[in-house]
Structure 1
Amino acid sequence: MKRAVIPFLMFILILTMSLGYHQGEARAEKKKVIKIGHIVSEATAVHRACVAFENYVEAESGGSIDVQIFPNGQLGGDLQLTEAVALGTIQVAIPSTAVLTAYDPVFGLLDLPFIFADVYAGFNALDGELGSKLDNILMSVGIKNLGYSYNGARCMSNNVRPITEPADLKGIKMRVMESPVFIDMFKYLGANPTPMSFGEVFTGLQQGTIDGQENAPALVYASRFNEVQKYYSLTNHVQSYIANLINADFFDNLSNDQQKVVLSGAEKYLVTQQRADEINDNIETVAKLVETGMEVNEITPGNMNKFMDALKPMHEKYQGKFGQEWFDLLKM
């Protein structure tokens, strides 16, 4: 009798261990990995928001989601990161909205100079009907937008002269994003626009391949452009926004609870916290740029009108291109 019981008990033990192993394997398979790619440094509001998002999502999901952050363009530039999300190679990217013109030119609407009265007018439009319509365009290519963040008011730096009015830009080779709107903008202003990936800008400035670039103060400081640029002019020509993009199929395959955690984390940190931090960072950073030796100048109201006048034909061109209905959404 005992001889019969022992093999039976051994069978039960082996079966239990086997079931435990496969259950553990199944639990491991359920863990979802979110790889986040962005192009800026760890010193930025974007990266701090990503870290807060990581901590929140991993804790609130009970460890069922593993968030991995890849800053500094480790996984590619904005365009490459966005394409990777569309393909499902990575799960999340945080690019400038300018590169989304690759999917539909109408995204260039957001980068038209002086199109928003201030940063908050842009938030209102993007949190409303304008943002919803743009998000629907992204969904058609397999990308879900978790919300719009802020990239600061774009200003111009260069090594030739201070920019006080459009005439000062004549002949200056200015790096611009790979966007038709930015190329057009600097042509209208009389500069020589040079499209270039963000990851190449520091070296381009250092080696003199380009004379200048245009980004918000916080990003200029975090990217150390002040080390290779002499003049910084507070033109504030574009209120620049960024999108928090996730692969739609990946999101749909999360459980309902996991989706709620991701949406909540994105709203709390990638959008709300990032916006507030970015605004504060840009206010504080102008003084830091001066301290490091940059010559910073503001634009007089009269000269600001000159910039706006020079760019009126550009507004008319794109109003005809995109249609009045899109322009109306900017004001809602």
Structure 2
Amino acid sequence: MKKSLFAILALMMVFVTACGGNQAADSSAQGNEPAATEASADAVTIKIGHVEPENRSTHRALLEFKKNVEEKSNGSLVIEIYPNGALGGDVQLTESTAMGTLDVALPSTSVLTTYSDEFGILDMPYLFKNSESAFTALDGELGQQLNAKLEGNGLINLGYAYNGIRSTTTNTGAIERPADLQGVKMRVMESPIFIDFYKTLGANPTPISFTELYTGLQQGTVDAQENPPSLTYANKFYEVQKFLTVDEHIHNFLPFLMNQTKFDGLTSEQQELLRTEVKAFVENQRQMELADNDAAIEKLKTEGNLTTNVLSDEQKQAFKDALKPMYDKYREQFGAELFDLAESFNQ
């Protein structure tokens, strides 16, 4: 029933977008200018939708991907990019891609739990030691195992872009140990794993829409929030927060999902080109996001005037130790083998 409702909503979203009166209609604003190489009469158009703003690493790297694909395909492939949720949110974009009304989506991996609960492991706090461990895992056996869960659902994943490292801002004080979260009203996404995360540490997790988060912090509905620093800075949460704790509790990823039928309909040369260029896009975007993250932390300290502390590896381990009851629960749900595989990359 959930999938059917998502599918209907996605179809309506794409129909409305196609009829105009939508931000996506202004293709020049989305980086959809004609390619330098003139497209052939039988060129294949690939439409990509995502929810990130144009100044984020995802969109900037996609513009380079577009340029490279169109030039290297000699115009036989044309890329159109629709940012800012112009074609819907993560759920709608994913369903549209599965149905073939959209060609490519880059949603959060969290929405893929609709297809397999095991994607939820990527939302587990302190699962990976650092970004390099996370990259190696998603590019390797863990990513391959998760990708296989999409088979038969109309989707193929060509790579994992990086949505950044989530860290915490508060009005209640620095977060240096698990006890510091006791009683803190923490805004969370509507995700059982995120809710369990903060309940286990004694906080009061409060689901609030991202679009309402600034007001919620301003009015005291919640005391704290957690997001990649680049997103925290871009949305000016520093105006209504006092402390930044760089705890790097979750590494978020954005799979490059393509409609399976669309991909299968390409020539073998076009398929190989896409695989090669998606790999290059992922590597480029990850480096952009890491640089953006470091720059945002400095801006939050200086421009945002947030009191900032960075957790050591020992402090992070203390949080993971405190989360053992949560880990026990999800080890049983997802399987110990999957956790062992993920954690094997923490070398």
Report the alpha carbon displacement of residue 106 of structure 1 after superposing the two structures with TM: 0.7
Does the CA-based 8 Å contact 1:176-1:183 persist in structure 2? yes
The 1:224/1:72 distance shift into structure 2, 3 A limit, reads farther
Does the CA-based 8 Å contact 1:40-1:223 persist in structure 2? no
Given candidates 33, 36, 41, the residue that maps to 2:48 is 36
Partner of 2:109: 97
Report the alpha carbon displacement of residue 246 of structure 1 after superposing the two structures with TM: 1.0
Partner of 2:18: none
Partner SS state of residue 243, structure 1: strand
Partner of 2:323: 311
Report the alpha carbon displacement of residue 157 of structure 1 after superposing the two structures with TM: 1.5
Is the radius of gyration larger for structure 1 or structure 2?
A: 1
Partner of 2:280: 268
Does the CA-based 8 Å contact 2:161-2:255 persist in structure 1? yes
Structure 2: 5+ residue runs without aligned partners?
Answer: 1-39
- Inter-partner Cα distance in structure 2 for 1:187 and 1:48: 37
- Indicate whether 1:235 and 2:247 are aligned: yes
Given candidates 77, 83, 87, the residue that maps to 1:71 is 83
- Indicate whether 1:56 and 2:68 are aligned: yes
Given candidates 134, 155, 177, the residue that maps to 1:165 is 177
Equivalence map 1:116-155=2 (5 Å): 116-155=128-167
- Indicate whether 1:288 and 2:299 are aligned: yes
Report the alpha carbon displacement of residue 206 of structure 1 after superposing the two structures with TM: 4.6
How many residues get paired? 304
Partner of 2:237: 225
Runs of 4 or more off by more than 4 Å in structure 1? 206-209, 300-303
Partner of 2:35: none
* Deviations 1:215-263 (CA, angstroms, capped at 9, x unpaired): 1212222333333433221111112222111111111112222222221
* Deviations 1:115-147 (CA, angstroms, capped at 9, x unpaired): 112111111211111111110111221111111
Report the alpha carbon displacement of residue 289 of structure 1 after superposing the two structures with TM: 0.9
- Inter-partner Cα distance in structure 2 for 1:285 and 1:131: 28
Report the alpha carbon displacement of residue 287 of structure 1 after superposing the two structures with TM: 0.7
* Deviations 1:52-76 (CA, angstroms, capped at 9, x unpaired): 1111112222223222222222222
- Inter-partner Cα distance in structure 2 for 1:54 and 1:279: 22
Partner SS state of residue 147, structure 1: strand
The 1:297/1:130 distance shift into structure 2, 3 A limit, reads same
The 1:200/1:319 distance shift into structure 2, 3 A limit, reads same
RMSD: 2.2
- Inter-partner Cα distance in structure 2 for 1:198 and 1:303: 28
Once the two structures are overlaid, the 10-residue window that deviates more, 260-269 or 73-82, is: 73-82
- Inter-partner Cα distance in structure 2 for 1:282 and 1:314: 28
**Percent of aligned positions with the same letter in both sequences?**
48
Partner of 1:320: 332
Q: Which amino acid aligns with 2:292?
A: D
The 1:328/1:48 distance shift into structure 2, 3 A limit, reads same
- Inter-partner Cα distance in structure 2 for 1:205 and 1:59: 46
- Inter-partner Cα distance in structure 1 for 2:292 and 2:236: 15
Structure 1: 5+ residue runs without aligned partners?
Answer: 1-26
Q: Which amino acid aligns with 1:40?
A: E
More helix, by proportion? 1
Given candidates 223, 230, 234, the residue that maps to 1:211 is 223
Does the CA-based 8 Å contact 1:41-1:222 persist in structure 2? no
Partner SS state of residue 323, structure 2: helix
- Inter-partner Cα distance in structure 1 for 2:188 and 2:268: 41
